[in-house]
Structure 1
Amino acid sequence: MENFLNDNEDILFHLEHMDLDRIIRFKEEEFTQAQQYSYAPKDAADAKDSYKRVLSIIGEICGEFIAPNAPKVDEEGPVLDLATNQVTLNPATQKAMDMFAQADLLGFCVPRQYGGLNMPSTILCIAAEILSRADGSSLNFGLQQDIAGTINKFASEEQKKAVLPKLCSGEWDSSMILTEPDAGSDLQAVNLKAVQGEDGKWYLSGVKRFITNGCGTIGLVLARSEEKGKGARGLSFFLYKRDEKMIIRRLEHKLGIHGSPTCELQFNKAPSELVGERQRGLTKYTMWLMNNARLGIAAQAVGIAEAAYREADLYAAKRIQFDAPVRSLPPVFEMLTEMKVAVEAGRSLLYETARFVDLKEALEDYSEAHPDQKGDIVDDKKKYAKLAGFFTPMVKAYATEMANKVAYDAIQIHGGTGYMKEFNAERHYRDARITNIYEGTTQLQVVAAIGPVTSGIAQSILDEYDQADYPNAGELLAKVRASRKIFDETLVYVKAYKGEGHEQFLSYHSRRLVEMATDLVISYLLLRDGVHSERKLKVAAIFIAKMPSRIEASRSFITGDDATLLQDYAAVIGQGAV
């Protein structure tokens, strides 16, 4: 039987070696939950065994059912009946969701008291990656736990008891309802109105667009609640349960992820409930929700890239040209090797990010429950909040751009056949394309990541990585350290720049600086992986072989620029001086 966990040696490697013990102790409240729930783990080893068994079930469903049906789901998709205002999922999609519900997998990160599995985000990322390898569109349903997680963190106890058990059982599904026709990335421009009636209830009116699974039973809605409030401070967050006051106007006709319905919604005084405090909808709740969603999209991207690489490798091994498999030709096996290394680099960065997010959330929850705590707990809470804030946009940017490149190369290796619908390569290419757009484009991830790069957060984690022990990596470590020196010098140059156009100089070079930092972080992570495996050390060697040239190229361009290019760009596109 095909199992998408058991056939992935790299995921199994990470499961064996990732540092989860502290996270597990926090999640299991020092294993006191075992006294209340017979199925709760009794120690860290028990928890890890449980994680692997759950992932194996997911791997089996994905390998045996979801992946074989993905081409049909992609071709047929869901259907909207305008007369009844109902969306019917593709039968294979619905059956997959039923299988997850029957296996009690839909409450992945929800606490046990509401019927969930109480899994950490790190394990959710592995599950999301496996599912996305099977079908990129499938993640947009059950296993992306952002909505349930947001409700658990910010909703009232009454709301949690009403909603979370039904999400865990699969009786209800959900959606994140943020985007509007005139408010895409700029969520401060949201105009859907939330008005409080004389009965004290809230009513939503307006249009939302590009809503993934907008046909879900419940939704978390960002709406403007303050009549005079402008920008972010005028927005609040609402829990909406589907009724006749919301009309699905259309399903979008998309390039990819065809199995997932993307809806345009019309709210006509639809009743809803306020979540948390007024005026914190964007600044607190939506930002938390989106950061978790971005981690999920990074996992989706790694999964799609894994699928695209495997399709290319399999085809290259079977395709005979010039009396030999094309896999044996240097131009092809170099591409395949680079694809494989890029996927493993993205996976290492993904799991490290998820680990930081888990520690951040655990420490915040612990501090809230123990407000008298001081010292290490407080310091660690601040540390991991900063690291999560840096790594989340970094992995979203890297993994999604990487997935697009790997999927592109997979078609190239297939040649003309890869362009045809009969092969999965073109579907992976189409599915990958959305990942560096939704939940914040790569450009917005750079905006989020450049602050930690210039404020010293990036340097602090690089210092921490550098102080670790890397036996048998002397020459590779020396290359990384040399590139780190170039990065530091470049950053000093940019921060001190006072020439013409200095106001925009940092912004102009932000992506180059973030990519330099990303290259260095990944290099250290791969060296750390190499401590446990000779093969992983070779993966690090391949990645690091080309990394210094990228760092040097960025340094050369940045320090050789006197900012006149900013003026040249403006002149070329006809907007005058910047």
Structure 2
Amino acid sequence: MANYFTDNTDLLFHFNRLKLEDVVEMAEHGYTEAKEYDFAPVDYQDAIDNYRKVLEIVGDITANVVAPQAAAVDEEGSHFAEGKVAYAKGIQEALEQLTKAELMGFTLPRRYGGLNIPTTLYTMAIEMVSRAEASLMNLFGLQDIAETINKYGTEEQRQEFLPQFASGEATGAMALTEPDAGSDLQAVNMTAYQDESGQWRLKGVKRFITNGNAQIILVLARSEPGTKDGRGLSLFACYGKDKVVVRRIENKLGIHGSPTCELQFNDTPAQLIGKRKFGLIKYVMDMMNGARLGVAGQALGISQAAYEEALRYAKAREQFGKSIFEIPVVANMLVDMRVTLESDRSLLYAACHWVDLRNKLEERVEELKAQKQDFSAESARLKEASRVAALLTPMAKYVLSENANKITYDSLQVHGGTGYMREFNVERLARDARITNIYEGTSQLQIVAAIGGVLNDIFGQDFAAREQKEAAGSLGRLADELKEMRERFLDALKFVTDKTDKHSQGVSAKELVEMYSYIYTGWLLMDEAEVDSRKVFIARRYILSAAAKTRRNWEIIKKDLYSDLLHAEDILI
């Protein structure tokens, strides 16, 4: 039988190179949880063995239950009648299987029924789910909603809500977007008020809400009358059955198995999560960063599926007396797809590592504070991990979602005219990929989120240290390419920052972020090439291509190509 975990050699490569000792030790509280829970690990190797078993289960379900129904799910879509939403048959069956396997509380603590598994492993599961059927990820991958309650809610709220998520009794939704407040969440107008008894209530409309028919909804609403910015917004939890009306579901281009709803809140009773006025500036931003990592995993899963479809078709399709796989221009496309897949996976799981480290260090610092112990060492590590995670999360979301669109585009091209037909999976994959660089923050907003870390060159010392190391043979030549790429980046960075105006930095942000991602990912691939000879080819192909793109971006910046954007209104008429 197929298995999307054990069949994927590159995913296994990354699993086998996990370095989560610190993360797991903190998550397991020094492995003391084994005293309370029979299934908790007793040491790091035991934890890794447990994680492998869980991912094998995910790989089995996704390959043999979810994937075979993906086309039918896309065709059937979600149903809406008389204010009620129903999932496609295949989605409902998949959720039932994942629930039976106890996979709906992946990262939640065991005391609430969860598996207590780090984000890195959860993202690997998301990748497999998305490869099988992308819209299912929008239900399975919304476990970050439960994590937000776990992190910022009261103990009473955790006891109330989290077991429902972990058992599969409830799915979640985050209701942020409004008809007049899309990416600009500071413009949210949903009203939150307290009635005579002190009960919080919600009134207003939310739009484009993924899985808006969920049983538990986190809602961003304006709790402070008279405010007009993010400081007047708070976060609330409510039940979908309590005076929440689904007004419609959207007729979308792709991800048909995931209902996207317009919701009306009619004085809905709700519970405040955390503190007033921190809804957007702290809680939602944290939740969205988790969601962005999930969408990066979704994009990677779609890319993997598209690559597999293209490779299979190219080997089977004969033209001019041979398979099209033997035509060099086609083979070249397939190689580029494979290299992009593997470089994307390296970037994603590097980002996950830093997010895991940040999350667990946050918990550790809070524990030490409560125990009135010294936490200075952990606090210093937390500061570094937070800075790195804040850069790599939007960078991964940007790079992987853009690449998913390219890979699915090329996969359809390999199929030729047949790929344009509904009978072939690649047509669905191309439609599904298109949303990944739009929702949870468009690609342009990911650039905005990442540029601060790039302008500060937060990996500068790491890059400099790597450049001092000797690399043998062909890796030495690749190291020289990375050094030259960094020189061009620093030159472009100086050119931009010397101007001191925000406009110059803004118009060059895309090129700078891309250059930084090329250098960072290139060094990741160099590390991998040192332990696996097959990765030498991947590193060479990626770095040489990235070097050419770096030169292009450098020229765009140095020639001040976008300086005329100051006169955009005169040009765009």
Query: For this structure pair, what is the TM-score category when the shorter chain's length is used for normalisation?
Result: over 0.9
Q: Quick one: which amino acid aligns to residue 354 of structure 1?
A: C
Q: Give the C-alpha shift of residue 376 in structure 1.
A: 2.9
Quick one: distance in 1 between partners of 2:459 and 2:190? 38
Give aligned pairs, total.
569
Quick one: distance in 1 between partners of 2:212 and 2:180? 18
Quick one: distance in 2 between partners of 1:317 and 1:536? 23
Following TM superposition, the consecutive aligned residue runs of length 4 or more in structure 1 with deviations greater than 4 angstroms are 464-472
- Who is 2:487 aligned against? 485
- Who is 1:27 aligned against? 27
**Where do 1:177-326 residues align within 5 Å?**
177-326=175-324
Give unmatched runs, 5+ long, in structure 2.
none
**Where do 1:137-536 residues align within 5 Å?**
137-371=135-369, 372-463=373-464, 465-466=466-467, 472=473, 473-497=475-499, 502-536=501-535
**Where do 1:560-575 residues align within 5 Å?**
560-561=559-560, 564-567=563-566, 569-574=568-573
Q: Quick one: which amino acid aligns to residue 2 of structure 2?
A: E
Preserved CA contact (<8 Å) 1:127 1:143: no
Preserved CA contact (<8 Å) 1:470 1:528: no
1:38 aligns with 2:38: yes
Quick one: distance in 2 between partners of 1:157 and 1:557? 53
TM-score computed with the length of structure 1 as normaliser: 0.96
- Who is 1:62 aligned against? 62
Quick one: distance in 2 between partners of 1:536 and 1:195? 57
Q: Give the C-alpha shift of residue 322 in structure 1.
A: 1.1
Worse-matched range after superposition: 374-383 or 416-425: 374-383
Quick one: distance in 2 between partners of 1:355 and 1:559? 35
Post-superposition Cα deviations, 1:385-422, rounded to whole Å, max 9, x if no partner, equal 00000000000000000000000001101000000000
Equivalent residue of 1:551, what SS? Answer: helix
Quick one: distance in 2 between partners of 1:482 and 1:420? 45
Equivalent residue of 1:366, what SS? Answer: helix
- Who is 2:547 aligned against? 548
Preserved CA contact (<8 Å) 2:62 2:129: yes
Preserved CA contact (<8 Å) 2:143 2:172: no
Quick one: distance in 1 between partners of 2:460 and 2:250? 43
Equivalent residue of 2:268, what SS? Answer: strand
Call closer, same or farther: CA 1:316–1:44 in 2, change over 3 Å: same
Q: Give the C-alpha shift of residue 463 in structure 1.
A: 3.7
Call closer, same or farther: CA 1:62–1:185 in 2, change over 3 Å: same
Quick one: distance in 1 between partners of 2:466 and 2:271? 45
Q: Quick one: which amino acid aligns to residue 179 of structure 1?
A: T
Quick one: distance in 2 between partners of 1:217 and 1:455? 43
Preserved CA contact (<8 Å) 2:242 2:269: no
Preserved CA contact (<8 Å) 1:449 1:514: yes
Post-superposition Cα deviations, 1:206-258, rounded to whole Å, max 9, x if no partner, equal 11000000000000000011111220011000001122511100010000000
Preserved CA contact (<8 Å) 2:188 2:221: yes
Call closer, same or farther: CA 1:540–1:493 in 2, change over 3 Å: same
Q: Quick one: which amino acid aligns to residue 125 of structure 1?
A: T
1:72 aligns with 2:90: no
Quick one: distance in 2 between partners of 1:482 and 1:142? 43
Quick one: distance in 2 between partners of 1:534 and 1:513? 31
Quick one: distance in 1 between partners of 2:353 and 2:502? 36
Quick one: distance in 2 between partners of 1:77 and 1:464? 52
Q: Give the C-alpha shift of residue 485 in structure 1.
A: 1.1
Q: Give the C-alpha shift of residue 143 in structure 1.
A: 3.8
Preserved CA contact (<8 Å) 1:308 1:425: yes
Call closer, same or farther: CA 1:28–1:148 in 2, change over 3 Å: same
Equivalent residue of 1:370, what SS? Answer: helix
Q: Give the C-alpha shift of residue 572 in structure 1.
A: 1.8
Quick one: distance in 2 between partners of 1:144 and 1:266? 21
Call closer, same or farther: CA 1:242–1:542 in 2, change over 3 Å: same
Question: Over aligned residue pairs, what C-alpha RMSD do you find?
Answer: 1.3
Identical-pair percentage: 44
Quick one: distance in 1 between partners of 2:188 and 2:335? 45
Post-superposition Cα deviations, 1:153-175, rounded to whole Å, max 9, x if no partner, equal 00010000011011100111111
Call closer, same or farther: CA 1:140–1:564 in 2, change over 3 Å: closer
Preserved CA contact (<8 Å) 2:507 2:562: no
Quick one: distance in 2 between partners of 1:6 and 1:115? 27
Q: Quick one: which amino acid aligns to residue 572 of structure 1?
A: I
Call closer, same or farther: CA 1:30–1:564 in 2, change over 3 Å: closer
Call closer, same or farther: CA 1:383–1:169 in 2, change over 3 Å: same
Quick one: distance in 1 between partners of 2:144 and 2:477? 42
Give unmatched runs, 5+ long, in structure 1.
none
Call closer, same or farther: CA 1:468–1:150 in 2, change over 3 Å: farther
- Who is 2:10 aligned against? 10
Worse-matched range after superposition: 374-383 or 165-174: 374-383
Call closer, same or farther: CA 1:294–1:386 in 2, change over 3 Å: same
Q: Give the C-alpha shift of residue 21 in structure 1.
A: 1.3
